Structure 1
Amino acid sequence: MGGHHHADVLVDPARRRRANMILWILLAPIGVLALVATIVLWPSGGLAKSPLGDIFGTANGAELSTGTVTRTVSEVCPSTEGLDQVGGKELQCQISYIAPAEGGASFALEVPPETTQSRPLKAEDKIKYLDMSHTSDSSAPYVFVDFVRSTPLVLLGLAYVAVVCLVARWRGLRALAGLVGGLYFIIGFMVPALLEGKSPTLVGLTTATVVMFAALYFAHGFSARTSTALLGTLFGLGVTAVIAVWATDAAALTGATDDSALTLSTVVPDLSLSGLLLCGLLIAGMGVLNDVTITQSSAVWELAELAPHSSAKQLFTAGMRIGRDHIASTVYTIAFAYAGAALPILVLVSLYDRPLLDSLTTGQMAEEVIRILVGSIGLVLAIPVTTAIAVAVVKATGSGAKPSGRRSLGTPDDGEATHPGHGREIEVGAAPPLNI
């Protein structure tokens, strides 16, 4: 269609500045509070660097070494050799011959059956083993520890970076840099602060807020749509924190459901395991909230660019049609992600002769269920709030007039298709998206 004029939405400089000012008036106090909280909660460094010591330092002279598998055969297990002389029975097991990385003669290594059943050792596999040949314990001079996984992990990491940068280009590279910075902040601030007994709720909220401020603006730039997504994300985090605090107390979640938690309670008695669980809920929900809010904010902007003279109600209705699809897909994405992570627990629970409801209310299962429910509630509520904020900002920066001949988004009748361009009027040749 020739001769059309570009839509004048989002081009009024005065109204654009006013909308950005309003957003910063809302965001600036939150950012200042997060900065102050970071300073107040910053770990003092008083905790011993390695209170547990070396995990493999069980005997003087024991060393963690690496080697390469040359071959694997089925032989008499060295641990049962000679038992037939006292009425026992020698057992066959998988024996791998290892060439030490530092050189020297190969040696036989008995691999635990739980490892060989899942992933037998093959020639050229790199492994870690505990060399106890120089200790007083001669019954097991070499003990299998784990596989060396450096090469596949590095290759996958490089492939991930290449794919992200190839598809998303500079924005993808900025997002990766934000991810690295966020992880560094979590390890450098959140973990030591928790170990020193700081409030897990405050530490979790502070960490999530600082990371979201930095990651969103760094990856998506300083714009009104990014600020809108950030407001929606912070709202979702607040809702998640409130519900998580209530749920962990109401469901009497102790966090002491595995060996790692019990070790922490012994080594770091000031650490609250239930608080650690709550903090984990906030960090887990942070990434998903960021995803849905930035997408929802961008969707409203694109709708406004296509139909710049739609009313606020029409924009919100159209945005929520997209939001409801996003809710439907993301909710089961969260559920399946947690179910996949908790699959060993699910399989173990299924082996007990107990009712399903009774199994779901055990400590470990209840933690997973509450993670799903709390994260989903915060996510679902963040979508309409983000949509409403985005519509308000778009209308505050647009012209608001509706000249004759301009088309706008219409609400389709029940039963009509709701994909863009069908069931509602859209101006053809609308203005390209503007970054405001």
Structure 2
Amino acid sequence: MTVLLGLLALCAVATVVGLVVLWPNSAAVSKLQDKAQFTAPGVTFQKARVEKVQAPCRTSTESAPTCGNLEAVLTTGPESGRTQVVGVPPAVSRSGVGKGDTVRLMRVPGQGQAAYTFDEVVRLKPLWLLGAFFVLVVAIVARVRGVLALVSLGFGGFVLVRFMLPALLSGSDGLAVSLAGSAAIMFVVLYLAHGPSVRTSAALAGTLAGIGITAAVGLVAVHGSNLSGSGSEDTALLSAFAGSVSFQGLLTCALVVAGLGVLNDVTITQASSVWELREAGPDLSRGHLFTSAMRIGRDHIASTIYTIVFAYAGSALAVLLLLSLYDRPILDLLSTEAIAEEIVRTLASGIGLVLAVPATTAIAVMTVAGPSAGEQDGAPVRHGAGRRSSR
């Protein structure tokens, strides 16, 4: 127990030092933000209330004024109250947008009257309602633990937005940022959501070990596969504004962060399993306790692997559909940057997850209370003593 707490204290100190050393340069980030102007000078975005949505044009010969347009009344800006007709993509017309919905229009000033074009549907209201329903469900079902988990989630978002993203934009090493940021999140999240205890400390140690394994495997895999990290349009656009960002480091950081949630789930479950098994079998040796807990861990690994693979497949479904249309051998498609990134991300996270299970189990077994007098470590109980003790 003392050794565990000492190691966690060292990790905590290293995390704090990493946060201090890697804390982003706000001036440099501000310069990048000023450089990355989203629109031309004078261009603004105004909200409008939808009054009518025309059906999309079915053929190229149909007249534009009679189809494929949206009629809305401006609710903000200098022309507030004015009715504006703008063209919208067919997908927007078919998505269910109707009278009373709010849209955002781009206003481009001109010599005379300003021109308006459709930008986006404003979806804040349904998103807020869905978010409120999520919080309510978590609070009712999980109660205090659920509320603490939501607070922990907020802290994780704070670290991501205020530290990790600006640090990456400042040109800091992606691997170092991922380790410092992920460790900081896990220290707070685990103790806040599950309470300070030896059990939580064992889960935290296993989580940190899993983070380290995932980062190491990811680093080797990214460089070994010659991945550039620029396999999407977003990274190509980002390189135009933030050339100092290492996209290989960004990819490594992304695969570490992507596996945090599942990794945390596995380690806390394994630590809890060891404590529950000890309570049910106080006379089990540490060896038998480890074996029993690993049987639970193997089942959890199997189900979690499915979760990781299908989660990544779902996020890349559009890319998979597009590639399925290409008349190319499957092995050639696997070597493309976009698909190879997802494969590396999935496998690196999976390896870290799988190895975190025996690591967490071993740590928990060494820190939980020892066996009762009925069985000595390494020596099995004879004549059913374990069963009598359990009753």
Confirm or deny a common fold (TM above 0.5). yes
Q: Which moved more, 1:324-333 or 1:21-30?
A: 21-30
Instruction: Give the corresponding residue for 1:421.
Output: none
| Helix, strand or coil at the partner of 1:51 | helix
CA gap of 1:76–1:299, structure 2 versus 1, over 3 A, is: closer
Instruction: Give the corresponding residue for 2:373.
Output: 401
1:124 aligns with 2:100: yes
| Alignment map for 1:126-141 (pairs within 5 Å) | 126-132=102-108, 134-136=109-111, 141=115
Q: Which amino acid aligns with 2:372?
A: G
Q: Which moved more, 1:21-30 or 1:374-383?
A: 21-30
1:26-82 per-residue CA deviation (whole Å, 9 max, x = no partner) reads 211111111111111111212152234542x3353x3201112111224889xx9xx
| Alignment map for 1:96-115 (pairs within 5 Å) | 96-102=70-76, 103-115=80-92
Instruction: Give the corresponding residue for 2:10.
Output: 29
CA distance in 1, matches of 2:4, 2:141: 30
Instruction: Give the corresponding residue for 2:162.
Output: 188
Instruction: Give the corresponding residue for 1:4.
Output: none
More helix by share: 2
The counterpart of 1:347, out of the listed 301, 318, 321, is 321
User: 1:142: Cα distance to partner?
Assistant: 1.8
User: 1:131: Cα distance to partner?
Assistant: 2.2
CA gap of 1:150–1:333, structure 2 versus 1, over 3 A, is: same
CA gap of 1:192–1:101, structure 2 versus 1, over 3 A, is: same
Instruction: Give the corresponding residue for 1:174.
Output: 148
CA distance in 1, matches of 2:41, 2:275: 64
Q: Which moved more, 1:287-296 or 1:101-110?
A: 101-110
CA distance in 2, matches of 1:136, 1:76: 31
User: 1:349: Cα distance to partner?
Assistant: 0.3
Instruction: Give the corresponding residue for 1:287.
Output: 261
- Tell me if the contact between 1:307 and 1:426 (Cα under 8 Å) persists in the aligned partners: no
CA distance in 1, matches of 2:56, 2:40: 28
User: 1:340: Cα distance to partner?
Assistant: 0.2
- Tell me if the contact between 1:409 and 1:426 (Cα under 8 Å) persists in the aligned partners: no
CA distance in 1, matches of 2:280, 2:183: 33
Instruction: Give the corresponding residue for 1:297.
Output: 271
- Tell me if the contact between 1:109 and 1:144 (Cα under 8 Å) persists in the aligned partners: yes
CA distance in 1, matches of 2:199, 2:246: 38
Give % identity: 41
User: 1:107: Cα distance to partner?
Assistant: 2.1
| Helix, strand or coil at the partner of 1:46 | helix
1:186-230 per-residue CA deviation (whole Å, 9 max, x = no partner) reads 111111111111111111101011111111111111111101101
| Helix, strand or coil at the partner of 2:106 | strand
CA distance in 1, matches of 2:242, 2:353: 33
CA distance in 2, matches of 1:123, 1:89: 23
| Alignment map for 1:25-424 (pairs within 5 Å) | 25-49=6-30, 50-55=33-38, 57-58=39-40, 60=42, 62-74=43-55, 90=63, 93-102=67-76, 103-117=80-94, 119-132=95-108, 134-136=109-111, 141-394=115-368, 397-398=369-370, 400-402=372-374
Q: Which amino acid aligns with 1:402?
A: G
- Tell me if the contact between 2:282 and 2:390 (Cα under 8 Å) persists in the aligned partners: no
CA distance in 2, matches of 1:339, 1:286: 18
CA distance in 2, matches of 1:297, 1:170: 20
Aligned residue pairs total 377
The higher relative CO (CA closer than 8 Å, separation ≥ 6) is in 1
Q: Which amino acid aligns with 1:192?
A: P
| Helix, strand or coil at the partner of 1:128 | strand
* RMSD, matched Cα: 2.4
Query: If the length of structure 1 is used for normalisation, what is the TM-score?
Result: 0.81
CA distance in 2, matches of 1:342, 1:294: 29
1:330-372 per-residue CA deviation (whole Å, 9 max, x = no partner) reads 0010000000000000000001110112112100011011111
Structure 2, gaps ≥5 residues long: none
User: 1:89: Cα distance to partner?
Assistant: 7.5
CA gap of 1:285–1:76, structure 2 versus 1, over 3 A, is: closer
Q: Which amino acid aligns with 1:122?
A: G
Q: Radius of gyration: which is bigger?
A: 1
1:85-138 per-residue CA deviation (whole Å, 9 max, x = no partner) reads xxx874563212102224413221210234335x15322221111123x42497
User: 1:175: Cα distance to partner?
Assistant: 1.4
Structure 1, gaps ≥5 residues long: 1-18, 81-87, 411-423, 430-436
| Helix, strand or coil at the partner of 1:328 | helix
Q: Which amino acid aligns with 1:401?
A: A
Q: Which moved more, 1:301-310 or 1:121-130?
A: 121-130
CA gap of 1:235–1:131, structure 2 versus 1, over 3 A, is: same
CA distance in 2, matches of 1:53, 1:277: 21
Q: Which amino acid aligns with 1:35?
A: V
CA gap of 1:313–1:76, structure 2 versus 1, over 3 A, is: closer
- Tell me if the contact between 2:18 and 2:180 (Cα under 8 Å) persists in the aligned partners: yes
User: 1:400: Cα distance to partner?
Assistant: 3.1
CA distance in 1, matches of 2:99, 2:62: 29
Q: Which amino acid aligns with 2:119?
A: V
CA distance in 2, matches of 1:189, 1:151: 29
- Tell me if the contact between 1:231 and 1:386 (Cα under 8 Å) persists in the aligned partners: yes
User: 1:402: Cα distance to partner?
Assistant: 0.9
Q: Which amino acid aligns with 1:110?
A: G
CA distance in 1, matches of 2:105, 2:239: 29
